[in-house]
Structure 1
């Protein structure tokens, strides 16, 4: 049996020496006179000399800007940091910059349950982006305008995103399995001018029409001026709104030469996209990143921590509603290819994604621990069935990994394999802790803190912890921190989300991410799930407020509370607790109604594992639902450490949860 921390793999010397990390170290020695002999020395320099590090990243990757920057970082502060002030650049231009040198190189492999595997060269991709961007300009879309998408994970969505960025507009995306209210809660905040929408999608062999949903979404967004309609599920599907423009009509125009096209190079603080990460109260957080922040972070991430290059192909199973979709497309920054798939990961066969990896020559494969567990239960051994000779690395992400997950990959996929577990978030569009191809792999362990990320484990008192579980904090600024939250005019919501708990010795901001982390003496990291009440189920964060909004519309429900508990083997237990109105009964009819409402208004991932009746929902004296204490109880914490009765509005309300925690502990 594999145990936590067991050595599983050591990189071959030639593999480590050929890595982008090693190349960067040699460049620093040659160009900067810095002798940083190993990854740990490189990391220490990157967080102690953050201006020098990020300036080196800019130079090493030859970032293209119309104007020089005044300073790498105007001052060392977390909120309001100005990175590369004075620069003007475009993220999409860098995604497609390799077109000139290798126009026939594959940029996209794309497969869905509706379409066979196809490929698109970087010249074809660039050509479609330029034609669509030109059409967007003709429609009046320009810098700062918001463009939103309700499209599946297909090539058209990638083209739409890049074209939006190319003209300086601001991109945001929701997956088509999201219900109407979930989409409107997101998009209404940013008042989009144009919506890309498809008529539906296929999952697990079943078709899901979204025509009616698109109509309702459009009606709920008064700022919309244009809907671009993509009949994907049914080629003959009519647009549900008047005066919609068809996708085909926008692309039906003469080619636009690369030399003749003008990317909108925007200032350092211009918004690139709005990503949504749900909080526990109110609407989902509308997180804004900049072109320059995302570009610098993704150049670092894809090259140094994913190990990608011109001969790479990156896949991660994702939907368009998750930041991992954006990160898959960021692989184009390296000159490599992105691999897209839309549909069930196990239909029609459970090993479908491994076949896709073989057919596309995937070098970097990503999936959740839950997916790996599903493979193990099915008794699959992909390495024996498919040619995975090009596969160098597997990233297990989205939730904490286990030693058993690592062991299965080495036993059933490939012995010589760089298995990485990485952890970050939508908030930063990247990772805090991750991998280096120059280091060994230990079971269940994330190899190191990422370059430029000054990550630590802190106690509740703000003391540094080693070999103990604490709060994940970041003590120095980094470029991909959010510019701001949309409509958060006074910055209060941003402040409360990350900076209200910890402060440095001089009162400076310290980022508290909301994850439990352990960093051992050699620098290896372990993530132990959420320390706050945001739900993280199968790698997708879900705001409790979204669930309450839907559930409490059900007739007979007076109040509710939901938590998500990580379990061994990548599993989750997400119970929903409800307080019923007088005379109401939680019968099968009500359970079906609750689940249907969550599936329709939110997504299938919002459906709980169990629904339980409690006499009262516990609240604090300040009127907040006690989600964090309940979650801690159910994960085995004693009551005296999970909650203070003196801080409860009604101390008796916690008793049913204490009793449930006891039953769960006895059943383990």
Structure 2
């Protein structure tokens, strides 16, 4: 155990447990009892979350869950209810700070809830004047800044459907997404700042606009203070010109069904066009309130930061902090400029209480030997969130030794598919080294073996056996739900298969992520996750990056390890033997890769995730078309026809 809460009885989790016990005359005892009740009595549980978190609706629900509809047929939730997502984000309209915009420079932008309400009103009025109605798609090719939040809330106040990508996306990646959903208005910027330099964005924007059909307006926010010609873009105008359409009308929140689409997010699409995942306003709202308010104790007292881009689902998770009345911090730029301590300087300057980031960022801090526990005060910091990839045990040690001893380190996991969490943080529970604290309330997740048997204390596929409100309502351009069914319900019919390989600890209730199931290694029938190897490989200072994948060989497969060496380091037999010895000693002989070889580059998505499946397919004999989500798509060419992996005796 690395940390435990001093007063768990004062957490919202314990308040919620008491609320449930009194309301239903049950004795649940502890979190495990509450979790079991939440997935057994799942309809009543979600109704209790609605009540406890105070969801605002103009019409209450008549029925919690559609009767007689199996999980794989996507049952409706909270039938009869009418609400608006933006209204629940803007419940308050006072002088409490809602947004703080920050970047690599020292300048900060502060917007109160009252000001945010007025900005959203003006933007929504302009949209309505231009004919935007419920169901229209509004797209953002935008950085993580206050204007993006304003535009998002304005769009969803009308019932328009939001979708966004960040300026670091290449034009191919953007067009692969937006050509499928055909937005009515596209919002973007003139330029962005990164690594201390201004980068013009209009050339990329021009290419995207020219590739989109049905666009009626392109609105350009002057994000960087430099002259530009909005008229040079087809249908282009400045944000100021757009706001001249504001006719002064009041902000009206369209009252819509619980399952009305809120946003379209996209699968990573690393080997083809990304799937367009449509999430409901009600589902996202109730799920995020549960995670922020009940699991995380988020309130108006908090200053909540997450290092994210608008192209990652964590942006949506960050914005929902407004529903708790918190102040949210929007950061755009490099986290290491002008100094590697930039974000920790912000923690002190803004009194940040909740700090979210990626496992990769924490590892980078570790490699840079930063010690915020010495160099910074971090007085108000109480929670650190980590996601994007499994947080290795050594990173847990680093946080508690070199950042702060008394805080909750919440390793969390979920995904774009549910724009939320399956397992994550809990302010009322201790933190154990290398483990996600718990399975989240209402999420009936289990670890299954190949036969569909629930197993604990052993690795298996992450499944969810009961429906939950934030299941996607559908995929765009998938009228018969064939892609939807194939994505989640083909592996175990009738049960949500998430594609993660996990281990559930029966003693602590914690969860360990072992990698993606589609990238699960399976030599000679022994299944294990790539994360087990990465945890060891990350300790080798000679390695700049690594990739572990399986190569099909007839009915079997063998494990291949690709090593990208740091500059000045040499790949030779000595490093190979050291790697083999470490893996054999720390894990087992079965975990040792069959082939360990050098490679010039490792493919990553723009969100920093290693691209295992595409490489697995390539080295197993397939041809893969790289997606625009890859930050280095040419790297895939390195993996074709590698002589070290050719075996004339085996047909691939």
TM-score range normalised by the length of the shorter chain = 0.7 to 0.9
Q: Note if 1:168 corresponds to 2:159.
A: yes
Shift in alpha-carbon separation, 1:511–1:116, aligned structure 2, 3 A: same
Q: Note if 1:97 corresponds to 2:91.
A: yes
Q: Secondary structure at the match of 2:188?
A: strand
Q: Secondary structure at the match of 1:197?
A: strand
Q: Secondary structure at the match of 1:321?
A: coil
Q: Over aligned residues, Cα RMSD in angstroms?
A: 3.2
Shift in alpha-carbon separation, 1:98–1:474, aligned structure 2, 3 A: same
Unaligned runs of at least 5 residues, structure 1: 1-6, 504-508, 535-562, 578-593, 628-651, 660-668
User: Which moved further from structure 2: 115-124 or 450-459?
Assistant: 115-124
Q: Please point out which of 513, 516, 528 is paired with 2:514.
A: 528
CA distance in 2, matches of 1:576, 1:242: 44
CA distance in 1, matches of 2:600, 2:454: 43
Who is 2:239 aligned against? 247
Q: Please point out which of 398, 416, 420 is paired with 2:410.
A: 420
Q: Please point out which of 73, 77, 95 is paired with 2:70.
A: 77
1:532-543 map, 5 Å: 532-533=518-519
Conserved 8 A contact 1:73-1:84: yes
Deviations 1:285-327 (A, max 9, x none): 1000111111111110111222211101211111110000111
Q: Please point out which of 421, 431, 434 is paired with 1:444.
A: 434
CA distance in 2, matches of 1:27, 1:232: 46
Conserved 8 A contact 1:289-1:482: yes
CA distance in 2, matches of 1:491, 1:59: 32
Who is 1:185 aligned against? 176
Deviations 1:353-387 (A, max 9, x none): 11111111111111112211221222211122222
Who is 2:132 aligned against? 141
Unaligned runs of at least 5 residues, structure 2: 521-529, 539-544, 551-598, 627-639, 648-652
CA distance in 2, matches of 1:569, 1:418: 25
Superposed displacement of residue 67, structure 1: 2.1
Q: Note if 1:340 corresponds to 2:296.
A: no
Conserved 8 A contact 2:354-2:383: yes
Superposed displacement of residue 27, structure 1: 2.1
Superposed displacement of residue 68, structure 1: 2.4
Who is 2:35 aligned against? 43
CA distance in 2, matches of 1:270, 1:63: 16
Superposed displacement of residue 28, structure 1: 2.1
TM-score (norm 1): 0.79
1:536-575 map, 5 Å: 567-568=534-535, 573-574=546-547
Shift in alpha-carbon separation, 1:606–1:24, aligned structure 2, 3 A: closer
Q: Note if 1:294 corresponds to 2:299.
A: no
Superposed displacement of residue 172, structure 1: 0.2
TM-score (norm 2): 0.81
Aligned residues: 567
Who is 1:647 aligned against? none
CA distance in 2, matches of 1:263, 1:570: 52
Shift in alpha-carbon separation, 1:30–1:235, aligned structure 2, 3 A: farther
Q: Please point out which of 492, 503, 518 is paired with 1:518.
A: 503
Conserved 8 A contact 1:373-1:569: no
Who is 1:12 aligned against? 6
Deviations 1:555-581 (A, max 9, x none): xxxxxxxx999712795524899xxxx
Conserved 8 A contact 1:146-1:171: yes
Q: Secondary structure at the match of 2:118?
A: helix
Who is 1:116 aligned against? 107
CA distance in 2, matches of 1:254, 1:288: 29
Runs of 4+ in 1 over 4 A off after TM superposition: 252-257, 563-566, 569-572, 574-577, 602-609, 611-614, 623-627, 652-655
Q: Secondary structure at the match of 1:97?
A: coil
Superposed displacement of residue 281, structure 1: 4.7
CA distance in 2, matches of 1:118, 1:387: 23
Superposed displacement of residue 603, structure 1: 4.7
